[in-house]
Structure 1
């Protein structure tokens, strides 16, 4: 636990409008707590988090529990700065925190912003052609947000069951790859060397973040060329 023993008076600076902080899952956040006089350090201080299940405040320790190796004090060389840095944020980190010294305390509410998939529960329709490639788009509304749990891409079978796609086996062997463009919130799937059998319903699934459904139609080259020739004929007749 975070405790300190220095004989000096400390009154914690408080935000008149309350303390509420938002952060992204997977990122880091600094919970501010400091004495009104940064040159003074309290006799003792502690950081705790509210356990809503037990309705009790639990001391935060960098050695154990969900915060192991993820929290540290960031004083900035000021003894009265008691701010706490939490890294690699997870959903369970959200909630109420208290920074307490003798006779003074502040409470901070931390809200974790997770990934919400674009086009959530709204199917997209995409048409591609055999032999080519297609990008199935799937991404968080905030591209800087990393999904807490990405369940991967799935394909609906003839029995209406969702089956996970694996690049190491089956019809997708070495033909698909995730293309994130260095954005952790981009979960798009690239399928190469398309065949007509690749057509069907696909789902990009992120637990707790929703899903994106895509219906892919793969047309044969003959059909594509015929449509192109018909278009050329129509253009010549109207010109």
Structure 2
């Protein structure tokens, strides 16, 4: 009994001095700083001898009771902060960790027992780090040395990745690989999260996607008012020089055909990566889906976008020559993104255009007197204003009491009369020209007869002289 009590006291006192043969696992990302813990319960202020070793390779760092220090395998990348010694903390700090730093380390204080720490190095590699849109890429997570007890989960931009990675293991490393085709949704920071013994350790790398950067997504809508100019964007990454750029428009039956000739490519003086196109004047029939494409590394990259045409329609009733109240309607060729409308009254004066603020909300506006004002319809989406379209008063001059002009009815009559007048003028000019020509030919007929007679008499006299 006495012997058992004596052994218990000896073991308890020894455990109070140094944590005996404790084992810990630490994960560190390549390039980061790893802290290998070594703690004792002894708070003595007397100098202690500390030795850190790596299994099979020798001493990493040690300090003698005299205060002398020795740096071994990791030279200046490994150290123990002296300020923590009085608290019983002899942890080893390794800066700029590398794959070869992984392994088993041991810490001994005054030669009494040791703390065993396994350092596992994590490294995330993306190949290629800069991928062309729709090309193949892979992301790998390597843990050295590996651990079969660790669980790996991938995150993309701090959100759990829905893809299920292919998992492979060896005796010296734990590797998780994700392979896919590069799309915009896969661009960003890839994080490998390793869970071990209730703790999570992470390492990250960034995947950059090169391709068409504007617009970023297929189906992006471009808004333009009828009659205005608009640019359909198609901008590639600055590092790319796309060739064989083609603009097409989607027709009925989901078929793409060459875009209208009015769609002009951007000036060649702009960046080679900018393949945007311009419409100088938007017509109602211009609305629809357009596709821009270009060749990059023997691969054709495409982007679809939709041009939405906005216009204001007016309707009113006439009564005995007078135009009554007018209803303005804000119409768009596609309203799938529109969440609201409002109307703004703009008055033109010598000082410029002045806005009266929001007058009414909604798609329709009833106006009793247009006067000289212009009405602007603004339409909104979830993220703010999408665009606007303006209806000017001169287009509705009959509403201000003026007599409406019937240009559309009289245009044919005026054109016909103009052609008839021109025809009559041409006939008169031809008759006058012929008359003048005859006058020049027969201006002196008597004089011509006299000259002819004199000439004949001279010939006769010449013949008589010869006979004599």
Looking at secondary structure, tell me which structure has more helix per residue. Answer: 2
Looking at secondary structure, tell me which structure has more strand per residue. Answer: 2
TM-score of the pair, normalised by structure 2: 0.28
Determine which structure has more spread, i.e. the larger CA radius of gyration. 2
Which structure has the higher relative contact order (CA within 8 Å, separation 6+)? 1
